[in-house]
Structure 1
Amino acid sequence: MDLLSYQSIPAILRENAVKFGDKTAISFKKNGVYTSLTYAQFYERVLLLARGLGKVGVQRGDKVAVFSENRLGWAISDFGIQSAGAITVPIYATNTGKQAAYVINHSEAKVVFVSTKAQYEKLLSVRDTIPNVELIVSYERYIGDRTFPAFTQNQLSEIEAPLTAEERNRIEQQIDAIRHDDIITIIYTSGTTGVPKGVILTQGNFLCDCDYGMRQLGGLGSNETFLSFLPLSHVLERTAGYYAALLSGNHIAFAEDAKKVMENMVEIRPTAMVSVPRLFEKIHSRILDSVHQSSPFKRNLFHYALKIGGEYVRTKYIDKKPVGLLGLQYRFFDRLVFSKVRNRFGGRLRFFISGGAPLDKTINEFMWILGMPVFQGYGLTETSPAVTLCSIDDIRFDSVGKPLHKVELKLAADGELMIKGPMVMQGYYKNEEATKETFEDGWLKTGDIATIDADGFVYIIDRKKELIVTAGGKNIAPQPIENDLRLDKYISQAIVFGDRRPYLVAILTPDIERLLDFAKEKKIQYLDFDELVNNDKVKQLFSARVEAINKQYPPYKTIKHFALVARDFSIEGGELTPTLKLKRKEILKKYADIVEELYTKNESVLVFHPKSTHGEEQ
């Protein structure tokens, strides 16, 4: 399908409602069981909501906020808002009331959709600070506060009252009026580097990104099942796992939440998924842990299969040479070993798309060997998001791929990647100064340091602002070191510091299951997890693990001291963004005393109880 021959996303949905009428469009968990809507049913629900929005005064160009996790209501709201000629303003479900209020006020949204009573109560707590909100619409049935009433989405849609011919015609005329340069959304950045900025994206931005992205992958049929778990409030999932899927007639199933993704994979048996590197790190860790606990024979068999698999994928996809006998060996081990591994994740996965942060080369190659290839890409909220993407014909395990169609790239003198292309944003909403700072002679400055090889593959080194310059003048990218630390089976998360300091230090969090197994094996007695991480044997274990990783680096890149935190980094704790990226400034602020102690204490290891910090939970 040539997406660019259409003027808008709702226009394509209208056609798909006819073309794929009885085909499943969206599945969602209700009362513990997955249920579905067909394309025809989904489109009808969208039109009903667009009718309701019109009745409450939503007009073309108005902003409507959506404060919700991924679910059917989110999708109906988004398409209904567009069909009413309005603009969707997503708010991360993990945001506080205060954070949500900033987005609502800055975007001038007068209507807000909320998913649950908990989200409603966040807004109720800041009611006095959002005076322009006229209507709250809930996906679930409950009675709001009398001073701040809430209606259900079904009530607003008048779901029991079918559309009249006149109403349908009026709404579809609104859809016909939408053009490529009309704004579809304002997406607010996480604000980890300052005040959140509202990124203005158009129908054309998304249509180009979906079309060129699918073209890079060699086309996308209409028989895929996507499992969606990254927040739709984030542009990666919204484009690659939601718009691209629905516009090409595929099936989307919403995961219950990020913690149940593995369970939902077995239930839904997806063929495709969009993810950030953290999921692949967990898959890698879980599989190797299972292998470690198996019999010596099975353990040796798996590692030999990995060896053959590594030779196979490098020969076929990197060197592009005939595989010959190696192909027969791989098929044998695929049937004997890898197919059984894939069955643990539903058994039908054909590919993943990865973004948000660079994926470790070892883990990427591991996924390809298993027969669950990961196509890594790169982009920003400001670019809708993808500007580069790997494919089955063009893959480097440590690269984010080659530029999409009509994308121009260049490197500034300091290595910063700069972009031109039809998916680049219009600018930041009500922030001309920030918009001007982000562009230079028409080129978008990404803030990422990159290299581009002779074959056109792009490699992201690190965020420009996150590069560490030590007191000795050494420039160090922390992400590759952090990736190596996270590859260790006992380490869950890692963050490296050292800017303007004499050496590098790190804060680590343990892999809880493996540390508990270690404690059992070593017969360590402890009352709680806090006591366990302070045990001398645990200190010695992590010292040895860090020292082993240090050996692959020159002295100035080694970790001299580290702290072990008894609690994993989390969104709720304020250390991770909703897409699971490290919030470096927040972590440094939260653990400032501990980091300072790592530079003043003579001991090579400091293991601490989190309650000793002065930082508050975010």
Structure 2
Amino acid sequence: MRQRLLHRLLTSDAPAVQRLGSPEALSYRQLGCAVAALQGLLIRETASKAKPRLRVGLFMPNGPEWVCADLALLLAGHCEIPVPLEFTPEQASSLLKDVDVCLVTPAERDAPQMACVPRQRRIVVRLENLHCKPGESLSMASDPARPPRDPAIAKAIHTSGTTSEPKGVLLSFKAIEAKVDTLSTLIGESRLRRYLSLVPLSLLLEQICGIYLTLSAGGTLILLPTGEKPLTGGGHPAGHFIPFLRKAQPTFMVVPPAVVEAMKDHALEGCLANLPLRLDLFGTPFPPLIACGGAPIARTTLETLAGLGLDIFEGYGLSETASAVSWNLPGSAKLGSVGRPLPDCEVALSGEGELLVRTSTPFSGYLGADPGACAVRPDGFLETGDLASIDEDGFIHIRGRRKNVFINSAGRNVSAEWIEGILAGMPEIQAAVVFGEGQAHPVAMIVPGARASPEAVLRAVARANARLPDYARIRNFTTRPPGSRDLQPFFTITGRPRRDQLGAAFSQTIAELSRSIHPHL
């Protein structure tokens, strides 16, 4: 990966990064010059702090500056800590409190999330100001002609903000490069000509596929137009992004389930205008390779799209495994599965049916702690927390989750107990149980305080939401009176909810709540 990337950044005038709606693209050579200039700034920081490597926060919106900063840090061997813009100040602080410097764009320099980083440690990145100086060249962490042996940490990747203090998964350069090389071989360069990015670049899989896979293959990373925020699960609905597919004409995409559902809705709403779906959606007779992960997709959705000539290839992965563990691919796919294990991954099942994964390049531990942290067994197998089966052909089928962490329809991992704790901390709320698996937004079943009016409970939910990032905010809820007999069997004597039984008993109510948003939330 490094050799291919470096060669293109030094020699190619082909387009590397382009925004939809912008007539000009940033070429590889221009990107390489900006990377070298930013590395020069960081070299001065290492000298002032007497450190060969820095711990560097990255707090930026999707854009060429994000790509430039990421490559500058990765190639020079610094430890990068990317932080999503939608994180709350509390979440951001848990990751940024010990950074040496933080790279930001002008609009983010004084954001509330930056409160824990002194102003003198915030470096503003403007692409127009990053010009190569005479003799300035790209620096590499080690000789690119040799295999990476340095165990130094390349990234601390957040785990989608499951709690108020998300853990950071520590990954070495070797683990990242091994995953990119594996996926590059499986996908092939012909599929990597144009990659459309719809989700934040702070997500590891988007870095792997959108930046490293695409750019090392000589392709173009396509970004949303200036001013358009990516899909996070808390902003625009997924259907908002459908028109961008035709404008971008991608050859490869990795999308969350919400986008796949939006493609199906688009097809069923009669928008085809007598065109094949691939032409209507993408403006080309050759559909892109569309990979999907993060949460399960309804089988009927996959069958509907396949019947219209658009195959969706589901996969499965973890930050701890440097993203993908398994993936369906053209010629090796089974509907309803998440594919066979990748060549760099070995899988097994525990006696309880939990999926265990062992990789050739294991992760290097955690930055911080989190209820979603995965344990590693003495034999090197990672306990994923997911229940699964493996069929006779080697395809993995995910059956559910052992932990109280749900994955919303945008692929975000969120701790139900985190939201419940904030809700229950409101004096007007006695208890709350949150649901969100596969849904666009979390919903709650709330037991009000003995004297709390409906209006007071609504205000309490709004106050709780103010303490949560947009993707974790309660958008609808129902209440049950204190001591309600229909709820009593679903709570333990200590007050802990029997979540699965409660969800099954009130499945219709939960489904109805998830289909709408409370007008005052």
Q: TM-score range by the shorter chain?
A: 0.7 to 0.9
For the residue of structure 2 that corresponds to 1:281, the secondary structure is: helix
Q: What does 1:443-458 correspond to in 2, within 5 Å? A: 443-458=381-396
Q: Residue by residue, what CA displacement relative to the aligned partner does 1:148-197 show, whole Å, maximum 9, x if unpaired?
A: xxxx4655x4x2xx3322x327x357665993533221112234257321
TM-superposed deviation, 1:506: 7.5
Is 1:233 the equivalent of 2:215?
no
Larger helix proportion, structure 1 or 2? Answer: 1
Identify the residue that residue 33 of structure 2 maps to in structure 1.
Answer: 44
Is 1:278 the equivalent of 2:254?
no
TM-superposed deviation, 1:360: 2.0
Q: Which amino acid aligns with 1:238?
A: Q
CA gap of 1:178–1:85, structure 2 versus 1, over 3 A, is farther
Is 1:168 the equivalent of 2:137?
yes
Q: Which amino acid aligns with 1:377?
A: G
Is 1:254 the equivalent of 2:223?
yes
Question: Which of residues 340, 349, 358 in structure 1 aligns to 2:287?
Answer: 349
Q: Which amino acid aligns with 1:113?
A: L
Q: What does 1:291-310 correspond to in 2, within 5 Å? A: none
Q: Percent identity?
A: 24
TM-superposed deviation, 1:23: 1.2
CA contact (8 A) 2:163 2:370 kept: no
CA contact (8 A) 2:243 2:281 kept: no
For the residue of structure 2 that corresponds to 1:196, the secondary structure is: coil
Distance 2:185 2:362 in 1: 18
CA gap of 1:254–1:459, structure 2 versus 1, over 3 A, is same
For the residue of structure 2 that corresponds to 1:35, the secondary structure is: coil
Question: Which of residues 83, 86, 99 in structure 2 aligns to 1:109?
Answer: 99
TM-superposed deviation, 1:221: 2.5
Q: Residue by residue, what CA displacement relative to the aligned partner does 1:382-431 show, whole Å, maximum 9, x if unpaired?
A: 11110101111111110000001131110011111001112431111366
Q: Residue by residue, what CA displacement relative to the aligned partner does 1:195-242 show, whole Å, maximum 9, x if unpaired?
A: 32111111221222122223334x233762110121111112111222
Which is further off, 59-68 or 40-49? 59-68
Q: Which amino acid aligns with 1:45?
A: A
Identify the residue that residue 135 of structure 1 maps to in structure 2.
Answer: 121
CA gap of 1:40–1:573, structure 2 versus 1, over 3 A, is farther
Bigger relative contact order (CA 8 A; separation at least 6): 2
For the residue of structure 1 that corresponds to 2:123, the secondary structure is: strand
| Equivalences, count | 441
CA gap of 1:224–1:370, structure 2 versus 1, over 3 A, is farther
Distance 1:577 1:454 in 2: 42
Q: Residue by residue, what CA displacement relative to the aligned partner does 1:427-481 show, whole Å, maximum 9, x if unpaired?
A: 11366999783444311110101010010000011111249xxxxxxxxxx99xx
Identify the residue that residue 94 of structure 1 maps to in structure 2.
Answer: 86
Identify the residue that residue 172 of structure 2 maps to in structure 1.
Answer: 202
Question: Which of residues 56, 69, 76 in structure 1 aligns to 2:45?
Answer: 56
Is 1:26 the equivalent of 2:12?
no
Identify the residue that residue 429 of structure 2 maps to in structure 1.
Answer: none
CA contact (8 A) 1:342 1:372 kept: no
TM-superposed deviation, 1:62: 1.1
Identify the residue that residue 554 of structure 1 maps to in structure 2.
Answer: none
CA contact (8 A) 2:142 2:148 kept: no
CA contact (8 A) 2:167 2:370 kept: no
Distance 1:54 1:598 in 2: 66
Identify the residue that residue 492 of structure 2 maps to in structure 1.
Answer: none
For the residue of structure 2 that corresponds to 1:120, the secondary structure is: coil
CA contact (8 A) 1:50 1:83 kept: no
CA contact (8 A) 1:236 1:356 kept: no
TM-superposed deviation, 1:78: 0.7
TM-superposed deviation, 1:610: 7.1
CA contact (8 A) 1:275 1:355 kept: yes
CA contact (8 A) 2:57 2:82 kept: yes
Q: Residue by residue, what CA displacement relative to the aligned partner does 1:552-588 show, whole Å, maximum 9, x if unpaired?
A: xxxxxxxxxxxxxx9xxxxx9689988x7xx5xx759
For the residue of structure 2 that corresponds to 1:249, the secondary structure is: coil
Identify the residue that residue 562 of structure 1 maps to in structure 2.
Answer: none
Q: Residue by residue, what CA displacement relative to the aligned partner does 1:258-293 show, whole Å, maximum 9, x if unpaired?
A: 3453232222221211111110011111221226xx
Identify the residue that residue 393 of structure 1 maps to in structure 2.
Answer: 331
Is 1:242 the equivalent of 2:211?
yes
CA contact (8 A) 1:224 1:271 kept: yes
CA gap of 1:594–1:207, structure 2 versus 1, over 3 A, is farther
Distance 1:436 1:394 in 2: 29
CA gap of 1:90–1:595, structure 2 versus 1, over 3 A, is farther
CA gap of 1:175–1:268, structure 2 versus 1, over 3 A, is farther
What's the C-alpha RMSD, in Å, of the aligned pairs? 4.2
Identify the residue that residue 224 of structure 1 maps to in structure 2.
Answer: 193
For the residue of structure 2 that corresponds to 1:221, the secondary structure is: helix
Q: Which amino acid aligns with 2:294?
A: G
CA contact (8 A) 1:235 1:381 kept: yes
Distance 2:276 2:24 in 1: 31
Which one has the largest radius of gyration?
1
TM-superposed deviation, 1:372: 3.0
CA contact (8 A) 1:356 1:378 kept: yes
Q: What does 1:295-374 correspond to in 2, within 5 Å? A: 337-338=275-276, 342-347=279-284, 348-374=286-312
For the residue of structure 2 that corresponds to 1:168, the secondary structure is: coil
Is 1:188 the equivalent of 2:158?
yes
Q: What does 1:486-565 correspond to in 2, within 5 Å? A: none
Q: Which amino acid aligns with 2:88?
A: T
CA gap of 1:27–1:411, structure 2 versus 1, over 3 A, is same
CA contact (8 A) 2:313 2:327 kept: yes
Identify the residue that residue 35 of structure 1 maps to in structure 2.
Answer: 24
CA gap of 1:433–1:53, structure 2 versus 1, over 3 A, is same
CA contact (8 A) 2:374 2:384 kept: no
Distance 2:18 2:263 in 1: 24
Is 1:464 the equivalent of 2:402?
yes
Which is further off, 425-434 or 201-210? 425-434
CA contact (8 A) 1:85 1:175 kept: no
Q: Which amino acid aligns with 2:248?
A: I
For the residue of structure 2 that corresponds to 1:398, the secondary structure is: coil
Identify the residue that residue 415 of structure 1 maps to in structure 2.
Answer: 353
Which is further off, 386-395 or 52-61? 52-61
Q: Which amino acid aligns with 1:53?
A: L
Identify the residue that residue 563 of structure 1 maps to in structure 2.
Answer: none
Which is further off, 53-62 or 87-96? 53-62
Identify the residue that residue 83 of structure 1 maps to in structure 2.
Answer: 75
TM-superposed deviation, 1:249: 1.3
Q: Which amino acid aligns with 2:222?
A: A
Distance 1:138 1:577 in 2: 24
For the residue of structure 1 that corresponds to 2:282, the secondary structure is: coil
CA gap of 1:358–1:610, structure 2 versus 1, over 3 A, is closer
